[in-house]
């Protein structure tokens, strides 16, 4: 696994490439660090997985002002161009699923297939600013933890990610990423997508409930839904092997009307991070 800094549009981004094979771009959820995908990437070693800390997350530079989702999508496109990758399969989870939709809509020729996990067409309000303020400002005493409610609550999900070292501990990160989604929706544009799309949802996801997956399926022309039984919002982490199997099966399907999965041509150097 190679992790380096790239400068994209005056922002330094922490980018990671792992494995060999056809390129698969992984886009993280709200506040998600690169290591969130570690288990999934281990299961997908036959793919060249590309992921990053989004602007303001982890080791990537915090932008001076919040960026809207379209600018994030254009940033991803420029990153791939710098890496010498012309086309990718894209996997986006939660907040990253919204970004994956925006990226595919703005740069359709760069996306072969699309996988949307635990996400919706918006308007997406996964976490309120008050939830972030409460989580990072409150006492971590045993008494306060008992008051946080069930393990499926937003507070419990944030705590799980932070304790596992998978989520940022900087409140500003969340405020900026939430600002990117204000007023955003893809609902009236998804009919434009021509890519085959797999939609993954957990039947116990209380943050992005299953009906969102079915809305996506009805709106995207070539979409299919798979429900992960017994899984909540973090199934990419809690069921990495199962998720990887679904990703591999979907991406390896052959269709006569579709080009083969993109590969780095022989003799062409593997993407490098300088």
Q: Is residue 265 part of a domain?
A: no
Q: Is residue 142 part of a domain?
A: no
Q: Is residue 236 part of a domain?
A: yes
Q: Is residue 31 part of a domain?
A: yes
Q: Which residues contact 268 (CB under 8 A, 6 or more apart)?
A: 84
When divided into structural domains, the chain yields a total of: 1
Residues labelled catalytic: 94
Q: Is residue 272 part of a domain?
A: no
CA dihedral 24, 267, 78, 234 (to 10 degrees): 10
274 residues of the chain, pLDDT tens digit each: 788 899 998 999 999 999 989 999 999 999 999 999 999 999 999 999 999 999 999 999 999 999 999 999 999 999 999 999 999 999 999 999 999 999 999 999 999 999 999 999 986 556 777 777 788 775 444 444 444 444 346 788 888 899 989 999 999 999 999 999 988 999 999 999 999 999 999 999 988 999 999 999 999 999 999 999 999 999 999 999 999 999 999 999 987 666 666 664 434 445 655 4
Count of other CB atoms within 10 angstroms of residue 181: 19
Tokens of residue 9, six digits: 């549009």
Q: How far is CA 249 from CA 115, 196, 198, 226, 272, in A?
A: 12, 13, 10, 12, 28
- Cβ atoms of 122 and 187 within 8 Å: the answer is yes
Q: Prior bond to 123 cis, omega within 30?
A: yes
Q: Is residue 259 part of a domain?
A: no
Q: How far is CA 22 from CA 10, 94, 192, 241, 271, in A?
A: 29, 23, 25, 19, 12
Q: What is the separation of C-alpha 54 from the centre of its chain, rounded to a whole number of angstroms?
A: 10
Burial of 80 (0-12, 13-18, 19+ CB in 10 A): buried
Q: Is residue 262 part of a domain?
A: no
Residue 49 sits in a domain whose CATH number is 3.40.50.1820
Distance in angstroms (rounded) separating the CA atoms of residues 74 and 152 = 34
Does this model's pTM top 0.75? Answer: yes
47 is in which domain, residue-wise? 3-137+147-252
């Amino acid at each position: 696994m190679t992790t380096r800094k790239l400068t994209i549009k005056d922002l330094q981004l922490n980018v990671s490439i792992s494995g060999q094979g056809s390129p698969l771009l992984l886009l993280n959820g709200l506040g998600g660090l690169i290591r969130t995908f570690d288990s999934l990437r281990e299961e997908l070693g036959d793919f060249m997985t590309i992921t990053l800390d989004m602007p303001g997350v982890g080791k990537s530079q915090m932008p001076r002002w919040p960026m809207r989702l379209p600018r994030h999508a254009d940033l991803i496109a420029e990153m791939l161009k710098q890496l010498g990758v012309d086309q990718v399969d894209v996997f986006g989870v939660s907040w990253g699923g919204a970004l994956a939709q925006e990226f595919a809509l703005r740069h359709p020729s760069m996306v072969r297939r699309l996988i949307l996990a635990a996400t919706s067409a918006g308007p997406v309000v996964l976490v309120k600013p008050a939830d972030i303020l409460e989580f990072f400002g409150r006492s971590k005493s045993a008494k306060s933890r008992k008051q946080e409610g069930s393990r499926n609550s937003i507070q419990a999900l944030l705590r799980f990610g932070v304790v596992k070292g998978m989520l940022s501990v900087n409140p500003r990160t969340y405020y900026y990423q939430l600002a990117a989604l204000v007023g955003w929706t893809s609902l009236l544009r998804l009919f434009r997508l021509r890519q085959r799309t797999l939609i993954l949802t957990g039947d116990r996801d209380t943050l992005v409930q299953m009906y969102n997956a079915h809305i996506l399926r009805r709106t995207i022309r070539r979409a299919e839904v798979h429900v992960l039984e017994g899984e909540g919002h973090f199934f990419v982490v809690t069921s990495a092997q199962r998720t990887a199997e679904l990703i591999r099966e979907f991406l390896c399907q052959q269709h006569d009307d579709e080009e083969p999965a993109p590969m780095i041509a022989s003799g062409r150097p593997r993407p490098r991070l300088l």
